[in-house]
Amino acid sequence: MRTKFLRSEAGKRKRLAMVWRRPRGQSNKLRRGEKCRGPKPKIGLKKPGKETPERIFSLEALKFTKAKEIIIGSGIGRLKKARIAEEAKKRNIKVLNKPKKIKVKKAETKEAKK
């Protein structure tokens, strides 16, 4: 639901409409931005924002997510990022910060050692 922006003192006086008018007075509390006076229109308040994509830090977290878009956590290494990206591709989940391509041979040798 959109925020309603009211004119300063619109509830006090009958002749003032309950529509937004920019406060211009020198000592107007709404113009100064005092918290108790209500919200003022700002950039970004016109439309409801998109849902924020879920941040994933492990393969297990990816298995339980129902999101259609994810972001892989920044503290994760190259190989783990690549594994998460592959798994997301299998599940038709869009990765917003795709990792750089790595050589598969290195990834397979490290997995074989474990």
Question: 59: closest CA among 78, 81, 90?
Answer: 81
The pTM is what?
A: 0.51
Share of the chain above pLDDT 70, in %: 83
At 50 the pLDDT is: 72
Distance of CA 38 to the CA centre of its chain: 24
At 54 the pLDDT is: 93
76-114 pLDDT, tens digit per residue, is 988 899 999 999 999 999 999 987 776 655 555 566 666
pLDDT of 49 higher than 80: no
Question: 93: closest CA among 59, 60, 69?
Answer: 69
pLDDT of 7 higher than 70: yes
Query: Domain map of the chain by residue range?
Result: 1-47, 54-113
